[in-house]
A and B are shown apart, each in its own frame.
Chain A
Amino acid sequence: MSSGKFRQIVGLVLLASLAFSTYSCTVASSKEDFFGTTTPPARNIFRYVSGDEPASLDPAISNGQPEARLYMALYEGLVEYNPKTLAPEPALAERWHINNDSSEFTFHLRNTGRWSNGDPIDANDFVYSFRRALAKETASHNAYLALYLKYSQAFNEQQVFVRDPKTGEFLLARDFEENLPAEAIGGSPIDPAKSEYQPDPNESTPDPDTAFHQQMHTPLRLTLPGDEKSRTKRIEASPKLKAAVAGKEFIRVKAEDIGVEAVDKYTLRISLVQPAPFFLGLLAHQVFRIVPRKVVEQYGDKWTQPEHIVTCGPFKLKTWVPYDRIVLERDPMYWDAKTVKLDELHFYPILDNATVMNLYKVGELDAVYNHAVPNPWLHVLKYKKDYMDQREAAVDYLIMNTTKPPLDNPKVRRAFNLSIDKEAYANWRRIVKPLTAFTPEGTFPDYPQPKGASFNPSEARRLLGEAGYPVIQNSDGSFSCPKFPVEQVEFIYNSQSANRSVAEWMQAQWKQNLGVTVGLRNMEWETFLDARAKLEYKGFARGAFGADYMDPFTFLSVFYTGGDNGTGWEDPKYIAMLDDANRTLDQKKRYELLAKAEAYMLEQQPVIPIDTPSVNWLKKPYVKGMYPNPASLYAWKYIYIERDRAKWDYGTPSLTAE
């Protein structure tokens, strides 16, 4: 017997035995209510896998979800996510008030805030942390979320003001409309008539009016690029600007210019460049959590090492062994330490999901992170009482390269969307909900989410024919589209078995309903991202987006700037519609306008929405106070180990009860 053949036989025998043992194992466990053991840990500790090893313990640096959860234990900001609804609730800020057009926010801090080394927390810590997060040298991945602060973008990009050396007056942006910053985040200048404060019944005295405050209320100054070359280019492009800057001096935008001010020790005022009704919810994001100035300045990028780190959250760092464990312990200095129920919080960075599930099953983990349950396990685990079944604030979709034919034609894009049976897809995937819009299903209850086109293969064939690619029905009932240039499209996805089966599913739908066979190509992750970002693909690519904050705009803003979104689709009309919406102060009306913009975008079809994913994770029944909220972010201080079996969670805890 040749060794090759022998190997084959051995391989087959092993595969068979493996299949059998997996089968017998899952069948054996399918009779139980829960997956694996349910013995609570002896001490009040909580062991969790949040995903990969964190890139950094510095909340300003990383934008990943595994890190975000860790930062929620170590750091706090003005507000914190409600464990169920994710709505902002008081944290280091006790209370706040917002002016009429949501462009100025005043926070009253609690005076009991302490760093883990005992130092008091005051408004200057926030001013420092915000300025640091926005500084170019920090190179924060999250800084874009803070660009709503007045002049923060100019500061982040090291731009300059233009000042008349004689009068000391600055050139104003409104006089040079065409020179507004290229990447303004969306929205109009603030209307001074509307930006007054609404009366605050809790406030006996109004906030002191400072010189800085008045300066924030002056019209927006003009800012120009900081480096000589692009500035000259900008100036040369506009004769009006060229004449205006003659004889003027350029002043670098400093950290002190951005719209955050310590009014007094415990009052913080934030001034925005535009009205942003969703800004309060955004403030719970990690980029707005505070870092200790003294330690950061003393140790530079080594400040997060265990021997130096100082934190301000409910837990503090005890040990950190990279790729092994991060152990946090209750911080007695925390202002709300009496609420904190766990003594220790363990994070294990583990990459392999099967390994994570094994540890959970034998009881070495108390909960696993979202999306940790591998697809093939779902047919058993979905029915367990410790399976967390809840919609996620995220969407899965396909993007299309709208710059290359044939997908530059909206009719073709619509045809490909209409020929996918999303209901059938969702049934096949088991845990997702079909999606026809670009905002997730069920995350924003008051938002009148538009319904996109649903499955309609005959309409799809008609549209494709209209676009010049007639679909012919063959004698056996199948379809073919001989004129369609299949060599000009393909479906790219990053190498993962789950992605592959999704791609194959889409391919089969198009083949069946349009008679078009789209080729599939898998790519290594970074290569895939690169091809997508640079539009170096033809046809379709897998896409996904998770909410940065709890407002539909976080999704709609994906297509706010062209180029960035991987489709090449950019439409001034869509941008104007979003701007209109964000200028609207009435929340209901604003949502209606956002929904209109979304409907318009869906009509243009730069993407094919596929599904709203499920959070898809497990927690032991004795873990209480942990809710499967749509962003999978947990306020750790409320979590505890329940030893009384009668009070355990049997099933997914509700997000609305109590």
Chain B
Amino acid sequence: MFRFIVRRLLVTIPTILVVISITWVLIKLAPGNFYSGEKRLPASIEKSIREKYGLDKPWYQQYGKTMWPIISRLDFGTSLRYEGQSVNTIIKRSLPVSAGVGILAYLLALIVGITVGSIAALKQNSRWDYGSMALAMLGISVPNFVLGPILVLIFSLGLYWLPPSRWAGFPSRNLILPVVTLSAIYMAYIARLTRAGMLEVLRSDYIRTARAKGLSERDVLIRHGLRGGLMPVISYTGPALAFLLTGTVVVERIFALPGLGNYFIQASLNRDEPLIIGIVAFIAITLLLMNLLVDIAYAYLDPRVRYN
């Protein structure tokens, strides 16, 4: 197991470097630049800006200037658009917002999703099953840029119960709408995954054995049923959590949250090279780590999985 983890971590490093390099190439290939606007800058001003940021140098020098600080001290440089702000600071500052909202949303999704999914599985083909699965389908079908405004329309503009947007720290009433909006689709997926997983497990031999042994129905379901039935949910958790942690563009935009996703989209639109690379690298690292955690969790939960 230990060797497995070390091996996986070692593979992560070249993967990240490749991801960064590809991103760098894509930015260089994209038309446009970080300083242009509706009003065209005079050629001499454009020239001084390009010189200030070293854009007049040959490509390998620019590549080296980007890569070396990253490799030597994990320094992603200074944002081109946000004068004087380092990429590391921007990520450090906006990560807690995205991660906080993301974790809350995922917890909510887990609690509601697993409960609803289990009930649907236990009462298969009942009113409960059809009702909850119809709702889940709704949750999957409605994109969050539709759900968010509907919730705002009802709870903020209609009833004046909750603030329509903006950040107010943890904990605050401002969190309710973004967390619910964000969790809806995950909730729905988890409910469906739980239901499918549970249905499969409940029909399996070891559950029959457990029942035959005379275990109480509660023990059968919680200790044996859920443990097996949740395996699909766990493999889904890795990538889902990685994306939730690193921010979700739409929800952060609708609710004006100062999170990482917001920066990511703005950085891409602004051609803010260091910031794009920094966030891409961060998302890649998170994703790889989450997948590793999921694989480890598998080994603990499923006795059939061994990594040696």
Cβ–Cβ contact B42 & A564, under 8 A: yes
The reply to whether B48 and A364 form a contact with Cβ atoms under 8 Å apart is: no
Q: Which residues of A contact B156 (CB under 8 A)?
A: 358, 362
Contact A527 B138 (CB under 8 A): no
Stretch at the interface among B4-12, B106-114, B248-256, B300-308: B248-256
Q: Which of A57-75 contact B (CB under 8 A)?
A: 58, 61-64
Q: Residues 43-86 of chain B: 1 if any A CB is under 8 Å from the residue's CB, otherwise 0? A: 11100110111000000000000000000000000100111110
Closest-CB distance, A519 to chain B (whole angstroms):
20
Bound-state Cα–Cα, A546 to B39, Å:
9
Are A139 and B142 within 8 A (Cβ)?
no
Asked whether A401 is an interface residue with its Cβ less than 8 Å from the other chain, the reply is no
Assuming the A-B contacts A21-B154, A25-B153, are A141 and B49 also in contact, with contact meaning beta carbons closer than 8 angstroms in the complex?
yes
Partner-binding segment picked from A297-305, A404-412, A422-430? A297-305
Stretch at the interface among B18-26, B159-167, B238-246: B159-167
| Contact in complex: B254, A323 (CB < 8 Å) | no
Q: Are A527 and B30 in contact (CB under 8 A)?
A: yes
A40 to chain B, nearest CB (A): 17
A354-B149, A525-B269, A527-B30 known; A157-B44 Cβ under 8 A: yes
Assess whether B258 is in contact with A364, with CB atoms less than 8 Å apart.
no
- Nearest-Cβ distance from residue B147 to partner chain A, whole angstroms: 9
Q: Is B88 an interface residue (CB 8 A)?
A: no
- Whether, in the assembled complex, A180 has its beta carbon less than 8 Å from a beta carbon of chain B, the answer is no
Q: Which of B42, B51, B256 has the most CB of A within 10 A?
A: B256
Cβ-closest chain A residue relative to B81: A55
Q: Which residues of A contact B81 (CB under 8 A)?
A: 55
Interface string of B161-186 (1 = CB under 8 A from A): 00111110000000000000000000
The CB with the most chain B CB atoms within 10 A, among A156, A324, A525, A546, is that of A324
In the complex, the answer to whether B42 meets A358 with C-beta atoms within 8 Å is no
Of B30, B48, B94, B146, the contact of A323 (CB 8 Å cutoff): B94
Q: Contact between B32 and A156 (Cβ–Cβ < 8 Å)? A: no
Does residue A474 face the partner (Cβ distance < 8 Å to B)? no
Q: Is B40 part of the binding interface, using a Cβ–Cβ cutoff of 8 Å?
A: yes
B164 near A7 with CB under 8 A, answer: no
Is B271's CB within 8 Å of the partner chain A? Answer: yes
Could you tell me if B48 and A139 are in contact, using CB atoms closer than 8 angstroms? Answer: yes
Question: If A56-B82, A304-B83, A364-B163 touch, does A153 touch B44 (CB 8 Å cutoff)?
Answer: yes
Nearest CB in chain A: distance from B100 CB, A: 14
| Contact across chains for B45 and A140 when beta carbons are under 8 A apart | yes
User: B129-166: which have CB < 8 Å to A?
Assistant: 137-138, 140-142, 146, 149-150, 152-154, 156-158, 160, 163-166
Known contacts A301-B84, A352-B254; is-contact A530 B31 (Cβ 8 Å): yes
- The residue that A544 contacts in the complex, of B38, B45, B269, with Cβ under 8 A, is B38
A176 at the interface (CB under 8 A from B): no
Q: Please report the C-alpha to C-alpha distance between residue A531 and residue B32 in the assembled complex, in whole angstroms.
A: 8
Decide yes or no whether A251 CB sits under 8 A from chain B: no
Most chain B CB within a 10 A radius of its CB, from A139, A354, A362: A139
CA distance A18 to B153 in the complex (A): 9
Contact B254 A355 (CB under 8 A): yes
**B208 on the A face (CB < 8 A):** no
**Alpha-carbon gap, A329 to B81, bound state (A):** 26
**Partner of B263 from A58, A139, A323, A548 at Cβ < 8 Å:** A323
CB-based contact A322/B82 at 8 Å? yes
User: How far apart sit A140 and B39, CA to CA, in the bound complex (Å)?
Assistant: 14
**Contacting A141 at CB < 8 Å: which of B41, B163, B255, B270?**
B41
- Cβ A141 vs Cβ B269 within 8 A: no
Contacts of B85 in A (CB 8 A): 322
Bound-state CA distance A201–B271 (Å) is 55
Check A529 for interface membership: any CB of B closer than 8 A: yes
Interface residue B196 (Cβ < 8 Å from any Cβ of A)? no
CA distance A25 to B256 in the complex (A): 22
Interface flags, A129-169, vs B, CB<8A=1, else 0: 00000001101110110000000010011000000000000
A453 at interface (Cβ–Cβ under 8 A)? Answer: no
In the bound complex, do residue A136 and residue B51 qualify as a contact, i.e. CB atoms below 8 Å apart? yes
Given contacts A25-B157, A359-B164, contact A55 B150 (CB under 8 A): no
The listed residue with most B CB atoms (<10 A of its CB), out of A55, A350, A545, is A55
Query: Provided the pairs A183-B42, A527-B31, A529-B32 are in contact, do residues A11 and B141 lie with their beta carbons within 8 angstroms?
Result: yes
Task: Report the minimum CB–CB distance from A613 to chain B (whole Å).
Answer: 13
Judge whether A6 and B137 touch: CB under 8 Å. yes
Report the minimum CB–CB distance from B228 to chain A (whole Å).
25
* Residue on A nearest B250 in the bound complex, by CB: A352
- Asked whether A139 and B52 contact (CB < 8 A) given A56-B83, A348-B256, A362-B160, the answer is yes
**Which residues in B have their C-beta under 8 angstroms from that of A183?**
42-44
Interface residue A457 (Cβ < 8 Å from any Cβ of B): no
The residue on B at minimum CB distance from A531 is B31
With an 8 A cutoff between CB atoms, is B90 at the interface?
Answer: yes
Q: Would A144 and B153 count as touching, CB distance under 8 A?
A: no
A526 touches B263 (CB 8 A): no
Least CB separation from A3: chain B residue: B137
Q: Does A344 belong to the interface (CB within 8 Å)?
A: no
Known A7-B141, A137-B52; contact A21-B83, beta-carbon cutoff 8 A: no
A307 at the interface (CB under 8 A from B): no
Q: Which chain B positions have C-beta within 8 A of A351?
A: 253, 256, 262, 266
CB distance from B78 to the nearest CB of A (A): 8
Q: Compute how far the CA of A564 lies from the CA of B44 in the bound complex, rounded to whole angstroms.
A: 12
Closest chain A residue to B83, Cβ basis:
A56
A102 within 8 A of B: no
Q: Contacts of A61 on B, CB cut-off 8 Å?
A: 83
Which residues of chain B have C-beta atoms less than 8 A from A525's C-beta? 32, 269
Which residues of chain A from 340 to 386 have a CB within 8 Å of any chain B CB?
348, 350-352, 354-355, 358-359, 361-362, 364
Q: Is A524 an interface residue (CB 8 A)?
A: yes
Interface residue? B214 (CB, 8 A): no
Chain A residue, CB-CB nearest to B168: A324
Contacts of B271 in A (CB 8 A): 526
Q: Show 12 A/B contacts (Cβ-Cβ < 8 Å), sorted by A.
A: A14-B150, A21-B150, A61-B83, A63-B37, A137-B52, A139-B49, A303-B84, A351-B253, A524-B32, A526-B270, A527-B32, A543-B38
Interface positions of A (Cβ within 8 A of B): 3, 6-7, 10-11, 14, 18, 21-22, 25, 52-53, 55-56, 58, 61-64, 136-137, 139-141, 143-144, 153, 156-157, 183, 300-305, 321-324, 348, 350-352, 354-355, 358-359, 361-362, 364, 524-527, 529-531, 533, 543-546, 548, 561, 563-566
A-B pairs, 6 with minimum CB distance = A526-B32, A56-B83, A323-B258, A301-B84, A358-B164, A530-B31
Known pairs A355-B253, A526-B33, A530-B33; list 20 more (Cβ under 8 Å): A52-B266, A139-B53, A141-B41, A143-B45, A156-B45, A301-B78, A303-B84, A304-B84, A321-B93, A324-B166, A351-B262, A354-B149, A355-B255, A358-B165, A362-B156, A362-B164, A543-B38, A545-B38, A546-B38, A561-B42
